[in-house]
């Protein structure tokens, strides 16, 4: 009976950890997706050339791919995965502050490289943190929850971001994004020590 009770307790811990990870990340995802659909419009406020919209995004993706490729071997330590995820939040906030003051095209490229560094550190770390809290045999179920929650947040973020920019402008949007992502950092720092654990199997229940 004790073993059965302990196993059920472990399962509850797994489910709570997944919910915590999603909750921490949700404010950041919401912030980011309020801006991304409006990215091209923002870039063209500084430079009208469509070429640079594609060029800046290409610069970001290329830098992200290269940094992730070379950094991936150093991101396997579960002890620091939550710290790297939080570091990504911090880097993105610095970039969004930069967006408030940027006026030169080269600055946009520089900020995209900064974003690439954050994403290259944060995304694999988030995936690792989420993966070690999966229940064996329920991988699709748990990852499906992650994808569906992010889809709902993205849909809401895109709509609300467009509304904010239409009525209040990009500066207000960026300030709101910074505030919400700061909340992700606070939650991450508060809960990070409870998130790292070893995944368990369904057969133990």
Q: What is the pLDDT of residues 144-185, one digit of tens each?
A: 999 999 999 999 999 999 999 999 999 999 999 999 999 999
C-alpha R_g of the chain: 19
CB 199 within 8 A of CB 14: yes
Q: 170 CB contacts (<8 Å, ≥6 apart)? A: 38, 42, 45, 99
Q: Which among 21, 204, 1 is positioned nearest to 128, based on CA atoms?
A: 21
User: Cα–Cα distance between 65 and 111 in angstroms, integer?
Assistant: 16
pLDDT in tens, 27-45: 999 999 999 999 999 998 8
Q: What is the DSSP letter of 17?
A: H
CB 177, CB 164: distance < 8 Å: no
pLDDT tens-digit profile of 92-134?
999 999 999 998 889 999 999 999 999 999 999 999 999 998 8
Global confidence as pTM? 0.85
Kindly tell me the number of DSSP H helices and DSSP E strands found in the chain: 7, 2
- Please give the domain boundaries of the chain with CATH numbers for all domains: 34-200 (1.20.1250.20)
- What pLDDT, on a 0 to 100 scale, did the predictor assign at position 50? 83
pLDDT digits (tens, 9 = 90+) for 45-87: 888 778 888 999 999 999 999 999 999 888 988 888 999 999 9
- Inform me whether the pLDDT recorded for 2 exceeds 90: no
Q: How far apart are CA 123 and CA 116, in angstroms?
A: 10
Q: Which residues does residue 201 pair with via DSSP β-bridges, in sequence order?
A: 136
User: Is residue 203 over pLDDT 60?
Assistant: no
């Amino acid at each position: 009976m004790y073993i059965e009770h302990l196993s059920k307790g472990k399962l509850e811990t797994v489910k709570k950890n997944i919910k915590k990870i999603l909750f921490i990340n949700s404010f950041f995802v919401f912030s980011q997706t309020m801006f991304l659909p409006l990215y091209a419009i923002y870039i063209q406020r500084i430079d009208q050339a469509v070429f640079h919209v594609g060029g800046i995004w290409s610069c970001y993706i290329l830098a992200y791919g290269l940094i992730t490729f070379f950094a991936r071997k150093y991101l396997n330590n579960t002890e620091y995965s939550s710290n790297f995820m939080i570091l990504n939040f911090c880097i993105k906030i610095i970039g969004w502050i930069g967006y408030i003051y940027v006026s030169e095209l080269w600055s946009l490229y520089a900020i995209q490289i900064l974003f690439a560094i954050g994403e290259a550190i944060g995304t694999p770390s988030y995936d690792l943190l989420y993966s070690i809290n999966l229940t064996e045999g329920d991988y699709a179920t748990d990852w499906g929850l992650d994808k569906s929650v992010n889809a709902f947040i993205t849909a809401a973020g895109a709509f609300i971001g467009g509304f904010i920019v239409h009525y209040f402008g990009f500066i207000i949007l960026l300030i709101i994004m910074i505030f919400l992502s700061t909340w992700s950092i606070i939650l991450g720092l508060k809960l990070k020590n409870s998130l790292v654990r070893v995944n368990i199997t369904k057969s133990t229940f």
